[in-house]
Chain A
Amino acid sequence: MAMADSFVKSQGSQSVPLEYTHEEDALRIFGFWIFLATDLLLFASLFATYSVLYRHVGHGPGPLQIFDITGFSAETFILLTSSFTCGLATYSMHRGQKAAMMAWMIVTILLGVSFISLELSEFASDIARGATLQTSAFLSAFFTLVGTHGAHVSFGIVWMTLILIQLAIHGLTPTTARKAFIVSLYWHFLDVVWIFIFTIVYLLGVMS
């Protein structure tokens, strides 16, 4: 990275976390925060779409007919837990415990996989009941919003696996620490988005 070495913040100061020790890594983390802002706005647009269309059920089923309370409660519980274990991974990283960190990341990935499998089975049962993307505007908005989140989680699973491999190869360095930190930001972000999906889509859906 073309950084001006003459004025880079002095490196290796003890108070700075590992992932922030190099200026270029700090830049990437800052850049990723901005990316998360854009991604949040993308979800906001999809939420807006959903809130315009959720009454537009056409000839298809409404929220009450397709939402499965046990299913989405389980999904919520799993994803919230995974966010917690992901936080534990970062905590271990800051204490320099590589093995613990990798273990917590593996737990996070496994929780993510089970979340995605539950969501896919939910989608499959909806489709089996004839509630598809093509049925009505409500279902188009529902599948797109929840599906976009699901795609993000799937991407996160693959990503975290890749970081895990790199941690195994290179050990805990400022670079791998930065990568692990960024993927954890992403994971927590998806958790926040899910809380909105849980509230706006599922809770309001079954309450209406």
Chain B
Amino acid sequence: MMQKRTGTYTLIAALCATLFLLPGCGEQVLVFHPVGPVGQVEKQMIILSIVMVSIVVIPVIALLWVIVVRYRDTPDNPTPYRPEWSESRTLEFLWWAVPIVIIGVLGFVTVQKTFALVRPPGKVINPLTIQVTSLDWKWLFQYPGQKIATVNYCEIPANRPIEFVLTSNAPMNSFWVPQLGGQEYTMPGMAMKLWLEADQPGVYFGSGANFSGEGFSHMHFHVIARPQSDFDHWVQRIKSTAPPLTTQQYAVLAQRTIVQPMSFSTNQPGLFEKIVSQDGGMYMRRDLMKGKVNTHVGTD
């Protein structure tokens, strides 16, 4: 009876394992295939946390298994039965202490990495700034240095830290490109900074991660990383071929619509700052000026 059961369970476990490994192990498990330093740090943290929690989870499941099998209430069960035994200093000390140590280690590394991730990855050599605005229901990317703008796609040079500055002119959303690194909220009235970098050229999936209404499911985009020279080339091409981003054009964009990717040859100067500091956002201006968020706001 026992033998047969164990066999069945092994079979089920093996089946589950294969199921998970079969179609999953490919590049499609984005979080485990980071292409930049930020994503890599986060992946390490995920793996570390899996290992740390396994120290408790696996013994718990194994113990449960053994105990439930051994101490069944059958008339001929030979195992000891001690109905009054309910205290053990040693055992209790053990399972207060072990989790404390695990949490201590994990907590220490967490704090370290949390502080590390607000700084730019590696040495900051000539970072590129991209201002991101989540609209209903589309993403607007403005390149203040290049004076161009795109909608629903974003090109970046590979091997160069990118400083994304995030805001929203619609309900809060969250900017997430899993292979580059974790997400951060885009919030009306605030400009938040997120450092990301791509190690290698490629096309990376990104999406809005925080629910923002009816068209939310369609708010995905691609981040296309190219070598620097290709990127420069692309900028030139957009500058010479794409239409300008006028005030009227922005007003059209701000409406509640779902659109295809677009490109614009100009970048309304001050548009991003205006979006951030309209009405409610004016109270965050102190933070902007303190340099906590470097948004190139300049004078105001």
Q: Which A residues fall within an 8 A CB radius of B?
A: 55-56, 58, 137
CA distance A56 to B280 in the complex (A): 8
B283 within 8 A of A: yes
B262-295 at interface with A (beta carbon < 8 Å): 279-280, 283
How many Cβ-Cβ contacts under 8 Å join chain A to chain B?
5
Min CB distance, A18 to chain B, in Å? Answer: 47
Residues of B within 8 A of A (CB): 279-280, 283
Min Cβ gap B247→A in Å is 23
Complex interface: chain B residues within 8 A of A56 (CB):
280, 283
- Bound form: Cα–Cα A137–B282 in Å: 13
| Nearest CB of A to B105, in Å | 35
What are 5 contact pairs spanning A and B, CB under 8 A?
Answer: A55-B283, A56-B280, A56-B283, A58-B279, A137-B280
- B283 surroundings in chain A (CB, below 8 A): 55-56
A55 CB contacts on chain B under 8 angstroms: 283
**What's the Cα separation between A31 and B88 when bound, in Å?**
39
Residues of A within 8 A of B279 (CB): 58
A137 to B279, alpha carbons, bound, how many Å?
Answer: 11
Q: How far is the CA of A191 from the CA of B283 in the complex (A)?
A: 33
Dominant SS among interface residues on chain A:
loop
**Within the complex, what minimum Cβ distance (angstroms) separates A127 from chain B?**
22
User: What B residues does A58 contact at CB under 8 A?
Assistant: 279
* Chain A residue nearest to B286 in the complex (CB): A55
A162 to B280, CA, bound (A): 46
Q: How far is the CA of A189 from the CA of B222 in the complex (A)?
A: 58
Give CA–CA (A100, B280) in the complex, Å.
Answer: 55
Closest to A53 in B: B283
Closest B residue by C-beta to A57: B283
**Complex: how many Å from CA A84 to CA B283?**
42
Alpha-carbon distance between A137 and B280 when the two chains are bound, in angstroms: 9
Q: How far is the CA of A187 from the CA of B283 in the complex (A)?
A: 38
A84 CB to closest chain B CB (Å) equals 41
Residues of A within 8 A of B280 (CB): 56, 137
A55 to B283, CA, bound (A): 8
Cα distance A56–B284 in the bound complex, in angstroms: 10
Q: For residue B281, give the distance in angstroms from its CB to the closest CB of chain A.
A: 11
Query: With the chains together, A55 CA to B279 CA distance in Å?
Result: 13
In the complex the two chains form, what is the Cα distance from A58 to B281 in whole Å?
A: 11
Bound state CA distance, A137 and B283, in angstroms?
11
CA distance A64 to B279 in the complex (A): 21
| A137 partner residues in chain B, CB cutoff 8 A | 280
> Shortest beta-carbon distance, A106 to chain B, in Å?
48
How far in angstroms is the closest Cβ of chain A from B160?
Answer: 39
Chain B: CB-nearest residue to A58? B279
B269 to chain A, nearest CB (A): 26
Measured CA separation A55–B284 after assembly (Å):
11
State the Cβ distance, A160 to closest chain B Cβ, in Å.
Answer: 42
> A168 to nearest B CB, angstroms?
54
A55 and B285 alpha carbons, distance in the complex (Å): 13
CA distance A58 to B279 in the complex (A): 7
| B289 CB to nearest chain A CB (Å) | 15
**CA separation between A56 and B279, bound complex, in Å?**
10
A58 to B278, CA, bound (A): 11
- B279, closest chain A residue (CB): A58
How far apart are A64's CB and chain B's nearest CB, in angstroms?
18
User: What's the nearest-Cβ distance from chain B to residue A208, in Å?
Assistant: 15
Q: How far is the CB of B188 from chain A (nearest CB, A)?
A: 14
| B241 smallest CB distance to A (angstroms) | 43
A56 to B286, CA, bound (A): 13
Give chain B nearest CB distance to A121 CB in angstroms: 31
Bound-state Cα–Cα, A56 to B282, Å: 9
- Looking at the assembled complex, report how far the CB atom of A131 sits from the nearest CB atom of chain B, in whole angstroms: 18
Instruction: Tell me the bound Cα distance from A58 to B280 in angstroms.
Output: 8
Q: Across the interface, name the chain B residue whose C-beta is closest to A137.
A: B280
User: Considering only CB atoms, which chain A residue lies closest to B283 in the complex?
Assistant: A56
User: Can you name the residue of chain B whose Cβ is closest to the Cβ of A52?
Assistant: B283
* 5 closest A-B pairs by CB: A56-B283, A55-B283, A58-B279, A56-B280, A137-B280
A56 and B283 alpha carbons, distance in the complex (Å): 7
Q: How far is the CB of A180 from chain B (nearest CB, A)?
A: 47
Give the docked Cα–Cα distance between A38 and B280 (Å).
31
A76 to chain B, nearest CB (A): 30
Query: Which chain B residue lies CB-closest to A55?
Result: B283
Rounded to whole Å, the gap between the CB of A55 and the closest CB of chain B is 7
